Amino acid sequence: MSMRNVTILAATGAVFAFAGFAQQEGKDLEPRQAADLTETLEDTSERAPKTVPDSSAMDVAEIDPAAFRFGIGQPASEAEIAAIDIDVMPDGRGLPPGSGSVSDGKAVYQAECAACHGEDLQGIKETGAAALIGGRGSIGTPETKKTIESYWPYASTVFDYIHRAMPFHAPGSLSSDQVYAVTAYILHRADIVPAEAVMSAETLPRVEMPNRDGFIADPRPDVRTYR
Average pLDDT over residues 123-149: 96
Check: CB of residue 175 under 8 Å from CB of residue 98: yes
In a domain, 200, yes or no: yes
In a domain, 89, yes or no: no
In a domain, 196, yes or no: yes
Mean pLDDT of the chain: 82
In a domain, 162, yes or no: yes
- Which tens digits make up the pLDDT trace of 13-38? 544 444 444 444 545 555 545 455 55
In a domain, 45, yes or no: no
Domain count, the chain: 1
Average pLDDT over residues 139-156: 97
The pTM of the full predicted model, rounded to 2 decimals, is 0.65
In a domain, 131, yes or no: yes
pLDDT for 91 equals: 94
What whole-number distance in Å separates Cα of residue 207 and Cα of residue 198?
11
Average pLDDT over residues 122-132: 96
Cα atoms in the 13 Å half-sphere on the side-chain side of 103: 1
pLDDT for 66 equals: 72
In a domain, 222, yes or no: no
Average pLDDT over residues 95-103: 97
pLDDT for 15 equals: 44
Check: CB of residue 183 under 8 Å from CB of residue 197: no
User: Which is more confident, 78 or 1?
Assistant: 78
pLDDT for 16 equals: 46
What whole-number distance in Å separates Cα of residue 50 and Cα of residue 156?
66
Q: At what angle do helices 155-165 and 176-189 cross, to 10 degrees?
A: 130
In a domain, 71, yes or no: no
* CATH number of the domain residue 157 falls in: 1.10.760.10
Check: CB of residue 181 under 8 Å from CB of residue 199: yes
The residue range of the domain holding 137 is 107-206
